[in-house]
Amino acid sequence: NQVLTGPLNGDGAGGFVGGGFLGPMKSAEEATRYHCAHVSMTYCALLVLSILGDDFSRVDRDAVMRGIRAIQQDDGSFQAVSLGTESDMRFVFSAVATCFMLQDWRGIDVDKTVAFILRSRSFDGGFGILPDQEAHAGAIYCASAALGMLGHLDKVMGDCLVDFLVARQVGGFNGRINKVPDTCYTFWVGGSMQVLGVHDQIDVESARNFILTCQSAIGGFSKVPGKIPEVYPDVLHAHYSVLGLSLMREPGFQPIVAALGMTRRSFLAAPFAQQPGGAKVSTGAPFELPE
């Protein structure tokens, strides 16, 4: 699923696609104009490769970087595909995480990226996915993790982001003020708190109990409590429930690096950590692993 860049799809297409739904791409010449990478798929591909112990030797790093360069917008945000999609904080995270995993920052304008993230800061201390948008834990995760990997977390000095995040816990976690809890927010909120170094403020018992009420009779976890057939488990909520439990140091679960969404073990074995001093942020300083 690595995109081959050729005469029709061009330099902006480099990276990975989610699957073969656009048709076979046996050669760069065969790639249509529409065979373009999707930045979140690029992030997922590199993440999965790291977890599986790949050394990235078959990743066309230059093509990926050219693809990243093609999707940054004038306002510093990123769209998903060079052809043209919406642009917002989700793809800022995916682009930054891609650069981090390749330890190569040439594809992005770091200052513009940071400026976009900060412009998306909400009046209540959180972040929206775009400037002026309502503070949302998904956007906060993307913003915090990106700033962490960029080495610009100092730009969110001040307590109000922590204030906002801890207030999301209502038993389980919600993603916005006055909304109901959903298991995946254990990770979006808890993971953001880990990036900020305050995840030990989580009330583990309450969060854990909520997650367990969402455990399905057929295995896995659903977003809210309930029984089949009203409520079904799904892979996304199972994944973020397990990551959430790991974050809260569930016995027998691996410690995780929330900024990337992988275990500490995988992180330390990944290609981007194999250099003196380990993985670096965009400023060249070492990336600090969470406690």
Partner 1 sequence: GRQRRRSPVDLRGHHQRAHSRCARALASPRPYATPPVRAGRMASAETAALQREWADVTPIPQEVSDQFCAQINYEPDFAATMDIFRAVIKSGEKTQRALELTEKVIEGNAANYTAWFYRRECLFALNSDLRPELELVTDFALNSPKNYQIWHHRRAIVDKLGDGSEELHFTTQILNEDSKNYHAWSHRQFALQRFNLWAGELDFIQSLLEKDLRNNSAWNQRWFVVKHTDGFHSADVRLRELQYAFEWAKKAPNNESPFNYIRGIMRHPEFDEISTVREFAEHLRDQLRPAPREEDEEDNSEAEHPCSTNPPPLLALLVEVYTSTHHIEEALELCDQLAKVHDTIRQKYWYWKAGRIHAMHHHATVTDVDSAPAAAAASAPPAP
How many residues in the chain? 291
Q: Are 142 and 106 in contact (CB under 8 A)?
A: no
Phi-psi domain of 79 (left: phi exceeds 0; alpha: psi -120 through 50; beta: other)? beta
The correct pick among 34, 254, 285, 286 for binding partner 1 (CB under 8 A) is: 34
| Site of tokens 């046996």 | 26
The correct pick among 111, 203, 254, 277 for binding partner 1 (CB under 8 A) is: 203
**Residue 177 touching partner 1 (CB under 8 A):** yes
The correct pick among 29, 75, 200, 209 for binding partner 1 (CB under 8 A) is: 200
**Residue 75 touching partner 1 (CB under 8 A):** no
Query: Quick one: which of 52, 63, 55 has its CA closest to 2?
Result: 63
Interacting span for partner 1 (CB under 8 A) from 51-59, 98-106, 144-152, 194-202: 194-202
Nearest distance from residue 106's CB to partner 1, in Å?
27
**Sign of the C-alpha dihedral computed for residues 250, 143, 78 and 175 taken in this order:** positive
Q: How many residues bind partner 1 (CB under 8 A)?
A: 57
Residue among 103 and 183 whose Cβ is closer to partner 1: 183
Residue among 2 and 104 whose Cβ is closer to partner 1: 2
The correct pick among 4, 118, 224, 289 for binding partner 1 (CB under 8 A) is: 118
Tokens of 31: 């790639």
The whole-angstrom separation of Cα 232 and Cα 221 is: 8
The whole-angstrom separation of Cα 143 and Cα 90 is: 8
**Residue 263 touching partner 1 (CB under 8 A):** no
DSSP assignment of 29-81 equals TT--TT----HHHHHHHHHHHHHTT--STTS-HHHHHHHHHHHB-TTS-BBSS
The whole-angstrom separation of Cα 91 and Cα 39 is: 7
Per-residue contact string for residues 133-172; x = within reach of partner 1 by CB under 8 A: xxxx------------------xx-xxxxxx--xx-xxx-
Residue among 103 and 120 whose Cβ is closer to partner 1: 120
Residue among 8 and 62 whose Cβ is closer to partner 1: 8
SS3 215: strand
**Residue 22 touching partner 1 (CB under 8 A):** yes
Query: Quick one: which of 33, 44, 110 has its CA closest to 72?
Result: 110
Residue among 106 and 179 whose Cβ is closer to partner 1: 179
Asked if the peptide bond before residue 233 counts as cis, ω within 30 degrees of 0, the response is no
Interacting span for partner 1 (CB under 8 A) from 59-67, 173-181, 236-244, 248-256: 173-181
**Residue 236 touching partner 1 (CB under 8 A):** no
Q: Which residues bind partner 1 (CB under 8 A)?
A: 19-24, 32-34, 38, 80-81, 83-86, 118, 121-125, 128-130, 132-136, 155-156, 158-163, 166-167, 169-171, 176-179, 198, 200-203, 206, 218, 228-229, 232
